[in-house]
Amino acid sequence: MPVHIDIRDGVAVLTLNRPPVNSFDLALRRDLRAALAMVMTKPEVEAVVLTGGTRHFSAGADIEEFASGTRGGATAVPTLPDVITDLDQAAKPVVAAIAGTCLGGGLEVALGCHHRVVAANGTLGLPEVKLGILPGAGGTQRLPRAIGVKAALDMILSGTPVNGAKAAKLGLATLSTGDLVEDAVAVARQAARDGAKPRLSLLRAELPADAGADWFQRQIDGLKRPLPAPLACIEAVRAAVELPFSQGLQREFNLFRELVVTPESKALQYAFFAERRAARIDGLSPDVQPRAIERVAVIGAGTMGAGIATVAVNAGLEVILLDRDETGVQKGVAGITKGYDAAVAKGRMDGAERDRRLGRLHTATDLAACAAVDLVIEAAFEDMGVKQDIFRTLDKVCGPDAILASNTSTLDLDAIAAITSRPQSVVGLHFFSPAPVMRLLEVVRGAETAPEVLATAMALSRKLGKVGVVAGVCNGFIGNRMVEEYLRQAYFLVDEGVLPWQVDGALERWGMAMGPFAMMDLAGNDIGRAIRAGRKALGDERPYSTFPDKICALGRFGQKTGKGYYQYDPATRARETDPEVDALAQAHAKEVAQEFGLSPRVIGDEEIVARCLLALANEGAALLGEGIAQRASDIDVVYLNGYGFPAHKGGPMFHADSLGLENVLRLMEGFLEGYQGQFWKPAPLLWEKASAGGRLTA
Ligand code: T1G
C-alpha cells in the first residue's frame, strides 16, 4: 500500500510507502488523498501525522512522470496541488514528521500541513530550479509565508537543501530531539486540543521594510545567468508578495507550465536521469556483487594522490598514503592537513571530525605496506615504465583479492595490467583534479577486468561521492580523447586569425564554464604538449596547429608559470589578455595564411562554437561506435561533471541531437570548405544515426 495508516490513541499516522524515494506519482497522490479523506471522517481521529519513514519523506513530484509524460501524467487528477490543498484545508490538524529527504513537491506537501516536525537528518529543499523548472505545487507561495521572502527566495534560487537544525532555525519546522513520530503525535494532539490549524495560505508574504522597492529587480540583476527558471522563480515569489494567495498560486502554475517545455528544462531533466543511468553496467549479471572496500592504499603523494587520499578518508575509509620517500609523503600529508584546517577555520568542520579523519590517514614509503589493503590506487608519475614497476611489485605484495587501480589519464591500462599475474583485478580509476572537488570519476575497464572488479569500482565511486562513468581503454578514455578534438579546433581557429581570448569568449558566452585556452592554462600547457607528443608517438598523424607548441617554447605553461595564453595576477590568479600572445597569434596566423593561401575572414561566435562543440560530439560518436562508452548519455555525464559543460545544454551529445544530426552533418560539410576542412571526418555512427533520422542519445 503506498500509504500505511496506523491510528494511535486518536492520532492517525499516515506513512508514505512508495519506494525508492516516495516520489509523488499518480498512485501515491491518489492513495494519500483517499487515506486523508478516510481518517478525516473517523470520529476517533482528532489529528493526523504524515511521515515517510527514516530515509525519504519524499523526493518530490515524479520527475519521470512530468519529464516524459509516463506513469499517468503529472496533470492527472489528483494533481499534487490538489493533494496539498486537501492538507491545507483539512478539518483536523495535520503534522508533517520529516526525516531524510524532503525535496521539491515533498517539501511543498509538508508546507501544506499545519505543523512540521523535523529530524536532525532532514534534508529540506526546493531543487526544482536545477531541473529548469520552479516549485509548481505552492512552494513559491507558502515558503515565503513560512520563513520570510528573502530566505525563501535564497532557497528557491539556489535549490540547496537545509538540514533539520537549519530548518528549525529558519522557522520552517520544529526540531525533534527524540522519536520523530512520537514528537509529531504530541504536536498533533496539542494542536487538536488548541484547535490550532495554522494555514500558511492565510498568512501574508511581506518584504522587510528596508528591502527597497526595486528589491526584486536587484535579484534579477544579480543572477549569474538569466536563464528562464531562475527568472520565473523570482517572478513567482514576487507574486507571493504582490497578489492574494490564490492568484499567486495561479501565477506560479502558469510560470511552471511555461518552464516545463523549455529546452533548458528538457536538458536538465535529461541530465538528472543520465547521471543515474551511468551507474548501470550493461550486461552485468545481477549475481555479481561488489566487494567491500574498507582499506585503501594511495601511491603517490603529489597533488592528485593527496587529493584522492582526502576523498577516501572523507568517505570513511582507512587510507595508507605512500611515496618514494618520507619527504614526499609528509608533503602530501601536510597538504591534506592544511585542507582540513581550512575547513575547521571556516566552520565547515569541527576539530574532532578533523582529528577523526586524520586518524584514518596512515603513511608508508615501502609498497609492502599494501599487503593487507582491499584496493590500491596508483597515482604516480604519468610514465608507463614507472607504473609498470609499481604494478609489478604490487602484484607480489598485495593479497589475492586486492584490486589494483591506476589513476592514469591517458596510458594504456591493458599494458599495465599485462605485467601482473592478475589482469582481471586491474581497473582504471581516473579522478579529475582537484579530486576533492571534481565529481567525475572515469572507471576504466581493461580487456580482462573482471565484472566483479568493475562493479566494485562503480560502487566505490558512489561511496566516494563521485559520479562514476565506465570507459573502455583508448588514449584519453572518454573525456580527454574528446577534449583533444575540441582543442584541435580551437587551435585551428587561431591558425585562421581568431585570438585565444576571442575563442574563449565565444564559448563562455555560449555557456562553457571556461574556454579552451583558459582551461589549458589551468591544466598546464606543458601537460597538453606531453599528451600531443604521446599521441604522435602512438602514430597519430592527424594535423595539428603548431601554435600551442610555440606558446610552450616560450615557457608559457599557464597559471603555474603566471603566463600562458593569458597573464595571471600572482595573488588572485585573475586572468588578463596578454598583448604578447595576441601579437604571437597574429604573426602565426599570417604564416599559416601564406603557407595555405588563406584569405583573411572574420570568424564569429556562431562558427567558433559550432566547430568546437561539434568536434566534441563527433569524437563522442566515434568512441561510442567503438564501444568505449556504454551509451551517449554517459558521454554527456562526463562533460557535465568533468569539463564545465553547461547542464542546461545537456551535454555535447544531447546538444548535437537538439540541433538535429542532419544539421550537424550539414554544418560539418560546410567546414570542409575551410582551412581545417581536411581534418573533419564525421564518425560512422553519426552518419548512420543522421541518415536514419535518429538521435545519439535516444
Ligand atoms: N522522481 C522520480 N524518480 C526519482 C526522483 C523523483 N523525484 N528522485 C529520485 N528518483 C529515482 C532515481 O532516478 C533513482 O532511480 C532512484 O530514485 C534513487 O535515486 C511539483 C515539480 C532523492 C536525494 O529534484 O535528488 O517536485 O536509477 O540514485 O543518491 O514542485 O534522487 O534507481 O531507477 O538519486 O539516494 C524535485 C531528485 C522533483 C529530487 C536520493 N525533486 N532526487 O538520492 O538515490 S520536481 C528532486 C534526488 C518537483 C514540484 C516539482 C535524489 C535523492 P533508479 P538516486 P540517492
ipTM of this predicted complex?
0.98
Residue 157 CB less than 6 A away from ligand 1: no
CA dist., res. 250 & res. 551, Å (int): 58
Cα(60) to centroid(ligand 1), Å = 7
CA distance 425 to 418: 11
Write the residue with the smallest CA distance to atom 51 of ligand 1.
59
* Number of CB atoms found within 10 A of residue 49's CB: 29
Any idea where the domains of the chain sit in the sequence? 3-261, 295-473, 479-522+530-552+580-692
Q: Where are the alpha helices (DSSP H) in 243-284?
A: 245-259, 263-277
Instruction: Give the HSE-up count for residue 353: Cα atoms under 13 Å, Cβ half-sphere.
Output: 14
CA 333 to chain centre: 28
Is the Cβ atom of 125 under 6 angstroms away from ligand 1? no
Task: Give yes or no for residue 516 CB within 6 A of ligand 1.
Answer: no
Cα maximum dimension of the chain: 92
Query: So what's the pLDDT on residue 77?
Result: 83
Distance (angstroms) between ligand 1 centre and the Cα of 137 equals: 17
Distance from the alpha carbon of residue 23 to the mean position of ligand 1, in angstroms: 7
Which atom of ligand 1 is least distant from the CA of 136? 30
Which residue lies with its CA nearest to atom 1 of ligand 1? 62
Contacts of 103 (CB under 8 A, 6+ apart): 58, 59, 60, 123, 124, 125, 126, 127, 161
Q: What is the 162 CA–ligand 1 centroid distance (Å)?
A: 17
Q: Does residue 235 contact residue 255 with C-beta atoms inside 8 Å?
A: yes
Report CA dihedral (164, 165, 167, 172) to the nearest 10 degrees: 100
Pocket test for ligand 1, best of 16, 29, 63 (most atoms within 8 A of CB): 63
Ligand 1 atom 55 nearest Cα? 21
Does the structural domain 3-261 have CATH classification 3.90.226.10?
Answer: yes
Ligand 1, residue 64: give the atom nearest the CA. 2
Q: Do domains 295-473 and 479-522+530-552+580-692 have the same CATH topology?
A: no
521 phi, psi to nearest 5 deg? -60, -30
**What dotted CATH number matches 479-522+530-552+580-692?**
1.10.1040.50
Mutate to test the pocket of ligand 1, among 21, 124, 129 (most ligand atoms within 8 A of CB): 21
Q: Is the CB of 103 under 6 A from ligand 1?
A: yes
Give the catalytic positions in this structure: 108, 128
Query: Which numbered atom of ligand 1 lies nearest the CA of 60?
Result: 26
The Å distance, Cα 199 to ligand 1 centre, comes to 28
Q: Shortest CA distance to 522 belongs to which of 335, 337, 303, 300?
A: 303
Cα distance between residue 457 and residue 309, in whole Å: 16
Q: Quote the ligand 1 centre to 247 CA distance (angstroms).
A: 30
Show Cβ contacts of residue 687 under 8 Å, excluding neighbours closer than 6 positions.
665
Domain at 295-473, CATH from 3.30.230.30, 3.40.50.300, 3.40.190.10, 3.40.50.720: 3.40.50.720
| Ranges in the chain, pLDDT < 70 | 68-75, 672-674, 676-680
**Residue 217 in grid coordinates:** 529587480
Establish whether residue 105 lines the binding site of ligand 1, counting it when its CB lies within 6 angstroms of any ligand atom: yes
Cβ(638) – ligand 1 distance below 6 Å = no
CB atoms within 10 A of CB 663: 14
- Per-residue pLDDT of 607-624, as tens digits, reads 999 999 999 999 999 999
Question: Is there a contact between 50 and 24 (Cβ–Cβ < 8 Å)?
Answer: no
Å from CA of 21 to ligand 1 middle: 7
Ligand 1 centre to CA of 547 (Å) is: 46
CA distance 357 to 298: 16
| Coil/strand/helix, residue 222 | coil
Beta bridge partners of residue 8, listed in sequence order? 11
Answer yes or no: is the C-beta of 60 below 6 A from any ligand 1 atom.
Answer: yes
Q: Is 101 in the pocket of ligand 1 (CB under 6 A)?
A: yes
End-to-end CA distance of the chain: 34
Written as one letter, the residue type at 257 is R
Please tell me the distance between residue 167's alpha carbon and the centre of ligand 1 in angstroms: 21
Ligand 1 atom closest to Cα of 139?
Answer: 30
65 lines ligand 1 (CB under 6 A): no
Residues 6+ apart with CB under 8 A from 657: 695, 696, 697, 698
The 3-class secondary structure across 395-454, one letter per residue, is HHHCCCCCEEEECCCCCCHHHHHCCCCCHHHEEEEEECCCCCCCCEEEEEECCCCCHHHH
CB of 139 shorter than 6 A to ligand 1:
yes
3-state secondary structure of 388: helix
Alpha helices in 58-172 (DSSP H): 63-68, 80-88, 105-112, 139-147, 149-158, 164-170
pLDDT value at residue 1: 80
Report the b/e string of 564-591 with b at 16+ CB within 10 A. bbbbbeeeeeebebbeebeebbeebbee
Go through 144-176 and write b for each residue having 16 or more CB atoms within 10 A of its CB, e for each that does not. bbbbbbebbbebbbebebbbbeebbebebbbbb
DSSP code per residue over 526-588: HHHHHHHHHHHHTT------SHHHHHHHTT--BGGGTBSSSEE-TTT--EE--HHHHHHHHHH
Q: Is any ligand 1 atom within 6 A of the Cβ of residue 47?
A: no
Ligand 1 within 6 A of 135 CB? yes
HSE value, Cβ hemisphere, 13 Å, CA-based, for 558:
16
- 438 touches 479 (CB < 8 A): no
